[in-house]
Amino acid sequence: MDNVLAFGAASAEAGRIDAVFLFITVIGGFFFLLTQGLLIYFAVRYRRRSPERDNETPGITGNHLLEFFWILIPTLVVVAIFYYGWRVYDDLREPRPGATEVYVTGRQWMWEVKYPDGRTALNEIRVPQGKPVKFILTATDVIHGFYLPDFRVKMDAIPGRLTSLWVQPDRTGEYTIYCTVYCGDGHSNMNARLIVMPPEQYVAWAAGKEERGEGEEQLSLHERGERIVGRTGCLNCHAVSGKEKIGPNFHGVYGSTVPLSDGTSVKADEEYLRESIVDPGAKVVKGYPNVMPTYKTTLKPDEVQAVIEFLKKPD
């Protein structure tokens, strides 16, 4: 769904917001044509034709009737726009009854997802098509913004507070979630995916029949690791090679000698990589901030193995 145009709304509610957008566009367009039209018409029509004309222009200094109308009409128009914008906003404030709830926590620079039944995920939210879903937001460090452009909604995720927003997706597919409140170096990489599944598939997935990372076990360890690295947000902070992001590049880590912030250094073997993933604060690479989150609870031991296998040959 990445190439939807401005009006590829992904829910009925988004369609209502687009209607407000269109309404303002039409009114704005009218005033645009009126004012720019007169501006340009007058500028051309009344350009100086002869020097004598300079002293013959009419001494018009105002017109109370005109002033009255061009105060009254814009006032009515803006009140109408306000009302329509408020109406739709107010109607869409409360989620439809029976909404599934998903807890989403923003942290530098990823989205942690918790489902009420205890499942967790990173940067990936799965929801059923056609059912209302309420996202309950908070943040652990700084303010983040949770933005779903295809649904025309956003809400800030604020430390120490819970805020929320909801959607009811009409169509299955994948939608991008952006962070909209500036939060530091990884801000523009803090994306996540909203995956809207057909209801039956969602039920199966939620019942655990279809494990998260479905079918990954069948892949080679290296391929599996690559998938996991892709879906758990490592690449928000690490590049494989080329320009560095927040953490060191993956290329060439394995087997190298890594200088640490306490002045010592360590050889990057399997155990070091494992520790870097499940307890990143234990050994912090020199010159980098200690901001990598722990993956102790989100990755199972065999998933960590797969990631290590991938890190050995990341390109």
Q: Considering only residues 26, 43, 65, 207, which one is a binding residue for other proteins as defined by CB under 8 A?
A: 43
What does DSSP assign to residue 266?
A: E
Give the contact letters, 191-210, x = binds to other proteins (CB under 8 A), - = no: x-------------------
Lookup: tokens for 117? 């039944």
Build a one-symbol-per-residue string for 228-267: x at contacts with other proteins by CB under 8 A, - elsewhere: ---------------xxxx---------------------
DSSP code for 207 = T
The strand pairing partners of 197, in sequence order, are 128
- 284 belongs to the binding site for ligand HEC (CB under 6 A): yes
185 vs 214, which CB is nearer to Cu ion? 185
Q: Which is nearer to ligand HEC, 132 or 248 (CB)?
A: 248
> Is residue 286 involved in binding other proteins (CB under 8 A)?
no
Exactly one of 95, 128, 132, 145 binds other proteins (CB under 8 A); that residue is: 145
The one-letter amino acid at 137: L
Q: Of residues 144-173, which lie at the interface with ligand HEC (CB under 6 A)? A: none
Q: Are 253 and 288 in contact (CB under 8 A)?
A: no
Q: Does 297 bind other proteins (CB under 8 A)?
A: no
Tokens of residue 183, six digits: 């939060």
Please, are residues 18 and 88 in contact by the beta-carbon 8 Å criterion?
Answer: no
Closest residue by Cα to residue 209 from 201, 199, 197, 217: 201
CB-count burial class (<10 Å; 0-12, 13-18, 19+) for 137: buried
Contacts by residues 258-263 (CB-CB < 8 Å, ≥ 24 positions apart):
258/283, 258/285, 259/285, 259/286, 259/287, 260/284, 260/285, 260/286, 261/285, 261/286, 261/287, 261/288, 261/290
Largest CA distance in the chain: 92
Task: Residue 82: name its binding partner from ligand HEC, other proteins, Cu ion, none (Cβ under 5 to 8 Å by kind).
Answer: other proteins
Establish if 156 lies at the interface with other proteins (CB under 8 A).
yes
Of residues 133, 136, 181, 194, which one binds other proteins by CB under 8 A?
Answer: 181
Scan for tokens 């060439």, then name that residue: 252
Q: Which 77-116 positions form the footprint of ligand HEC (CB under 6 A)?
A: 108-110
234 forms part of the interface with ligand HEC (CB under 6 A) = yes
Q: Does 14 bind ligand HEC (CB under 6 A)?
A: no
- Kindly tell me which of 244 and 271 has the beta carbon lying closer to other proteins: 244
Output 142 or 219, the one with its CB closest to Cu ion: 142
Residue with tokens 């709830």: 101
Regarding 12 and contact with other proteins (CB under 8 A), the answer is no
Which residues of this protein are in contact with ligand HEC, per CB under 6 A? Answer: 108-110, 229, 232-234, 236-238, 246-248, 253, 258, 268, 273, 276-277, 280, 284-285, 288-293, 295, 307, 311
